[in-house]
Amino acid sequence: MTSFAEKLKQYMKRKNITVYGLSQSSNLSVMDVYKITQGECLPENRELVEIIANALGMSPFDKKQLMESYEISLNGEANYYEKKCILDFLQRLVLRNQAAVPQNTKAGQTGEFAAESKEIIYGKQNVDKFIQILLEQETKEKETEIYLLCQPEYEYPYQILAVYGEKLNLKISQIICLQGSQDYKAKKYNLDCLLKIQPLIMSNSDYQVYYYYDKLESHFHNLNVFPYLVMIGEHILQLSENYQCAVHDCGREAGKFFRNIIHDYMKEVTPMFVMKPGVNDIINTYNKAINEKIRGVVPVKKHLIFSSMLGSVATPFDVSMDYFNVNGEMGKLSRTFLKRNKELENEMLHTTTEYKGFFKESWVREYMETGYLADPYYKYCNKIPLESRLKVIEQAVRQIQEGQIMHYMLKPEAIVMPDDLYISCFDNAQVSLLFRKNNHEWCFLVLYERNMTDAFFHFIDTLDQSSMIYETEETLWRLQEIVKEYKGAGSEKEDEER
């Protein structure tokens, strides 16, 4: 029996509704309702699930639970949770700047510590308060080094560090143990870790994460009473597994001892991602990524773009060069980068067996209205004239019609995502994300951990088979209508000027 059938029968029993009664109130045949409740088949679509839920008089919460069980039965539990984690990650990119300072302690409250001291702290709230007191003692003028050797099950340290990252100069290095197998539970655990550390990824801190593969149980069955460690400056907190108890060490000797241990660990771990803020760093990091692709990834079987905007492959080279035709070092650097990127794109178009891009209609319309791209370089670049903007949309239309490059328009209500996001997948070997952080500065992140890259790749690769996009014909029609609309607007403007 499917998860959906079990959940449906539970609600029917709770409401005291029979198969016949549900068929009457939902206008479905008795046989169809019987087959669905026995798990022999699923409702044909989500609209039918909605009809069944309304017929049962479900609350919004129960309706959501029933829809979730339908998705699990339809796609499988592993695929459902993989997709859910990616959608949650995208939604949290929209919710930046939502953090508030936790109220465990008042701003400015500090504690007095001896130059060399040791004490034991009991209770999760007291541990939380202690971490915040340590952060309150730091100043923005100097960089504060923070080391985290802990799993992200307990989310408070990540939230408080993200908040203080807005007003302090924090350099945070973390080592996480991830699951190395390719089964569903391992992938889900690793993706959950990514979601839980996302507040720090989005913060203004210099944040780097390293990982190693092991069985998590090994940390807690080797008589290690305090398996986690948080180090803020010269203050060291050794934490119990449940964060209910901590041992605090303070002083230069203790700091030197634990820092040496951490540096030894760093030699044995692998970066989960490389993250660079700022326009120059983005270009330099992307240039390095291009070199890696040319040397190690090409030929690429699948190139996937998930973005608010149309992929650069839809932009004619002359339009791109006009856009970056600005003076100064930034213009020179950008044009050099653009040429190399276009060379890579052309090479890949001859070797890539499949190219799929996903974009938002709202971006296309904003682009047509403003003449600027939602990217890190717009403030350094020229406004693109309407004629050139139309070239981009027309080229995308031709590429779809020719079938070599497929662009799919995302339904606006299907995915909550920022208007300034760009994700690129070269097979499942490397995933690159371009987005804005909490301070609205652009950031370029290259993700390496294989379970995470697999999840992003699979999510984007299967989007064209989902209900989140418009069919190819409707995508074409919508793009062609935009071209007609703005060609007409351009003609009217020319008539007015005459």
pLDDT tens by residue, the chain, 498 residues? 678 899 999 999 988 999 999 899 888 899 998 999 998 899 888 889 999 999 999 888 988 889 889 888 888 888 889 999 999 999 988 876 554 445 444 444 455 555 566 789 999 899 999 999 888 888 766 888 999 998 888 888 888 998 898 888 899 999 999 988 888 888 899 999 999 999 999 888 889 999 999 876 665 555 466 788 999 988 999 988 888 899 999 888 888 899 999 999 999 999 999 887 655 555 565 566 556 555 454 566 777 888 877 766 677 667 766 666 656 666 666 667 667 666 766 666 666 678 888 999 988 888 888 876 665 555 556 677 888 889 888 988 998 998 878 899 999 888 888 878 888 887 777 788 888 887 667 788 889 899 999 999 999 999 998 889 999 999 999 999 999 999 877 555 544 444
User: In 227-327, which ranges are continuous DSSP H helix?
Assistant: 252-266, 279-292, 317-323
Q: How do residues 195-208 score in pLDDT, each as one tens digit?
A: 999 999 988 888 99
Q: Does residue 476 contact residue 390 with C-beta atoms inside 8 Å? A: no
Look at phi and psi of residue 427 and say left if phi exceeds 0, alpha if psi is from -120 to 50, else beta. Answer: left
- Give per-residue pLDDT as tens, 450-497: 999 999 999 999 999 888 999 999 999 999 999 999 987 755 554 444
- Classify 3-75 by CATH class: mainly alpha
Q: What does the alpha-carbon distance between residue 136 and residue 130 come to, in Å, rounded to a whole number?
A: 10
Alpha helical stretches, state H, 16-113: 19-26, 30-37, 46-55, 60-75, 77-94
Q: Looking at domain 117-271, does it have CATH number 3.40.50.2020?
A: no
C-alpha distance from residue 70 to each of 20, 36, 48 (Å): 21, 11, 11
pTM for the model stands at: 0.82
What are the residue boundaries of the structural domains of the chain, listed by start?
3-75, 117-271, 275-497
Cβ burial, residue 324 (10 Å; 0-12/13-18/19+): buried
* pLDDT, tens digit, 9 for 90 and up, residues 374-424: 655 555 566 778 888 898 889 889 989 988 788 999 998 888 888 788 888
Question: Do 117-271 and 275-497 show the same overall fold?
Answer: yes
Identify whether the C-beta of residue 274 lies closer than 8 Å to the C-beta of residue 285: yes
The CATH number that domain 275-497 falls under is 3.30.870
Bridge partners of residue 444, in order along the sequence: 276, 434
